[in-house]
Amino acid sequence: MAKKRRILITGVTGQQGGAVAAALAGSDFALQGMTRKPDSPAALALKSKGVTIVKGDLEDAASLKKALAGVWGVFAVQNTWEAGVEKEEEQGKRIATLAREAGVQHFVYSSVGSAHRATGIPHFDNKWRVEEVVRALSFPSQVILRPVFFMENVVSPWFLNGDTIYSALQPDTMLQMIAVRDIGFYGARAFTDAAGLNGRAIDLAGDALTMTAAAQALSAGFGRAINYVQIPIAEVRKNSEDFALMLEWFERVGYEADIPALEREFGFTSTKFAAWAAGLGKQ
């Protein structure tokens, strides 16, 4: 019986890595998840489902080399808000370079929607520079995924506090979003259809709505009134210049993923925010 090709999934206990691992469960790949905390409850839960857990740190080249040994494919994702813009870029370039040196055949990098559009947003532009390195390394095959704003962000403390969503966005500003589990679907397809998607950079989105509409959907999902309140951009800027620049870009320009075309190509019905919000009320 042929040996299964092994995929290393970084951030496997996080949102995107975890979603990709879940979507690839039961596939013809051997899954290997990398985490800094292999004894964490999340890592142990994945281990119980057949995922091989290895200790690794995107800041530690030696641990990355060890984790990459014998690996056919890599799903690489980094966290801006944890590492910072400069370190995230270093981490992305580091794992890509070491993966190429280790003989990895297929590299999947999770970037961000519109990274190629010179947005001026620090945590978008740094991912574009990582993309350029990935392409320059000339892997036998590679796919770049560019997910837009996560639906999960809306219920994070960055936005939802108590029964109110706070943001500097105008109440009628449309914002493309995607559910993390949908990123898992596309991440899995980047491996199961590696040859067909080779060389592609794909913007991923599943829905587009205003923050007012998001509040209404959450009200229905939670069974209580959720309000939307617009705050001055200066208040956001006090906490994060990067975040403020992103919101300003959402107002001026915004993402441009072609959701209908994406669904047609992949034969996939994207998760819509109302359905996603309804699911929150059942948890």
Mean pLDDT of 11-38: 95
Structure tokens at 14: 């996080």
Determine the pLDDT at residue 83: 83
Q: Residues of the chain with pLDDT > 90: what percent?
A: 95
Please say if the pLDDT value at position 138 is more than 60.
yes
CB-CB contact of 211 with 165 (8 Å): yes
Q: pLDDT averaged over the chain?
A: 96
Domains annotated for the chain, with CATH where assigned, are 5-148+179-205+256-267 (3.40.50.720)
Read off the pTM: 0.96
Which stretches of 52-106 are DSSP H helices?
61-68, 80-83, 85-101
Instruction: Give the separation between CA 226 and CA 92, rounded to whole angstroms.
Output: 37
Q: What is the pLDDT of residue 155?
A: 97
pLDDT at 55 over 90: yes
Tens of pLDDT, residues 95-108: 999 999 999 999 99
Tell me: pLDDT of 52 over 90: yes
**Res 283 pLDDT > 90:** no
| Terminal Cα distance for the chain, rounded | 41
Range 216-245 average pLDDT:
97
Assign 281 to helix, strand or coil: coil
From CA 206, how far away is CA 180, in angstroms rounded? 10
pLDDT tens-digit readout, 147-188: 999 999 999 999 999 999 999 999 999 999 999 999 999 999
Average pLDDT over residues 40-66: 95
Residue range 46-56: mean pLDDT, rounded: 94
Contacts of 217 (CB under 8 A, 6+ apart): 209, 273, 274, 277, 278
